[in-house]
Amino acid sequence: MTVNRLAEIAALAGVSPSTVSRALSRPELVAERTRRRIMNAVEATGFRQNEVARSLKQQTSRTIGLVVTDLNPFHATLVKGVQDTAERNDLNVILFTSDDSAAREREALSILRSHMPQGLILIPSAHTALHAQLLRGLTVVELDRQSGMDGAHTVQVNNRAGARDAVRHLIAQGHQRIGAIFGQLHVSTAQERHQGFRDALAEGGVAYDETLVRYGNDLEPSGRAAALELLDVSPGARPTALFVSNHEMAVGAIIAMRSLGLKLPRDISLTSFDDSRLMLLHEPPISVVAQPTYELGVRACEVLIAALADGDVPHHVRLDAPFIARGSVAPP
């Protein structure tokens, strides 16, 4: 026998529905004995409150939205961080992927609202600012990137410092012709990493040469194409090192290097963003700026929960992304 209405429990325990509701949600308001009787009935029947009805009545659900731009391994780890933390706080996650498309993001946000979530964690696309209207009144935490929208909380890594450290290392090894591949500059991560790249160049007395810089879309094929453009030239014109500002594009760059028969680190050095087992097990292992990916997801969820409790003080979190030197970098 299954019981799925609070009223049935009430009948079983011989009390009114409100008392059952209280026993479940605010047990301190119910007399010990009554409560015990109710809980017995609840356990015996396996009853659980209907979340949908609760949500409608309370005008908010124990749910948060999570919008990611894609679901590659990096995002999966982010999602896991959010998910684990949400679960610990009795929150459920409704997942959307925007594919960085304005239309899909818009739709996701619109649908999400109709589910009355407590709040929203999102990797903003380049178009998020356009959707400010859809976010009105929602507590939102921007994860990984920031859209510039005001009122939003943010949880990011120290992109600029990470990129700077990586490029500094290349320069310390003696590289002067350093190629670079970034995401689109209107995305904050690309912008910040680009800035870190320039910081390191300036600091090392190396001129910024825009002919050695390419911009992709954070997906592997674009990294491959960009790397081919930079590397498939006469050995003299070729950069001696490459800084790729995102994991997927770095994979593309590795593939490009192979197809050109370039050996790491003999023919070229490489430094990338985001650590992974691929980067670690590669021969040679790839030097990377290691984002604390899982932690990022955890913190985003924690910030959301804090913001929900605290009110509107915006929280901005920056985690460090340490550079890890490995065998993919050698003197030119």
Q: Interface with its own copies by CB under 8 A: which residues?
A: 2, 46, 48-53, 55-56, 61, 63, 70-73, 75-77, 79-80, 83-84, 87, 92-97, 110-111, 113-116, 133-134, 136, 251, 254-255, 258, 276-278, 281-283
Report how far residue 123's alpha carbon sits from residue 44's, in angstroms, rounded to the nearest whole number. Answer: 43
Per CB under 7 A, 123 contacts DNA: no
Report how far residue 181's alpha carbon sits from residue 226's, in angstroms, rounded to the nearest whole number. Answer: 7
- The answer to whether residues 27 and 16 touch, using CB atoms and an 8 Å cutoff, is no
Report how far residue 206's alpha carbon sits from residue 172's, in angstroms, rounded to the nearest whole number. Answer: 11
DSSP string, 263-319: PTTTT-EEEEES--HHHHHSSSPPEEE---HHHHHHHHHHHHHHHHHH-SPPPEEEE
From DNA, its own copies, none, which one binds at residue 136 (CB under 5 to 8 Å depending on kind)?
Answer: its own copies
User: Of 18, 40, 110, 259, which one interacts with DNA (CB under 7 A)?
Assistant: 18
From DNA, its own copies, none, which one binds at residue 2 (CB under 5 to 8 Å depending on kind)?
Answer: its own copies
- The answer to whether residues 288 and 326 touch, using CB atoms and an 8 Å cutoff, is yes
Enter the DSSP assignment of 130: G
* Number of residues located near DNA, criterion CB under 7 A: 29
From DNA, its own copies, none, which one binds at residue 278 (CB under 5 to 8 Å depending on kind)?
Answer: its own copies
Please, what is the minimum distance in Å from the beta carbon of residue 45 to its own copies?
11
The alpha-carbon radius of gyration of the chain (Å, integer) is 25
Please, what is the minimum distance in Å from the beta carbon of residue 171 to its own copies?
27
Helices 6-13 and 32-45, interaxial angle, to 10°?
Answer: 120
From its own copies, DNA, none, which one binds at residue 34 (CB under 5 to 8 Å depending on kind)?
Answer: DNA
Please, what is the minimum distance in Å from the beta carbon of residue 309 to DNA?
16
Per CB under 7 A, 101 contacts DNA: no
User: Of 12, 19, 153, 160, which one interacts with DNA (CB under 7 A)?
Assistant: 19
Per CB under 7 A, 259 contacts DNA: no
**Single-letter amino acid, residue 37:** R
**Pseudo-torsion of CA 281, 285, 291, 297, nearest 10°?**
-10
Judged by CB under 7 A, the chain residues 35 through 94 that form the site for DNA are 35, 49-50, 53-54, 56-59
Please, what is the minimum distance in Å from the beta carbon of residue 30 to DNA?
4
Question: Who contacts 260 (Cβ-Cβ below 8 Å, separation ≥6)?
Answer: 228, 231, 232
User: Of 12, 22, 156, 282, which one interacts with DNA (CB under 7 A)?
Assistant: 22
Residues engaged in binding DNA (CB under 7 A): 4-7, 14-19, 21-22, 24-26, 29-31, 33-35, 49-50, 53-54, 56-59
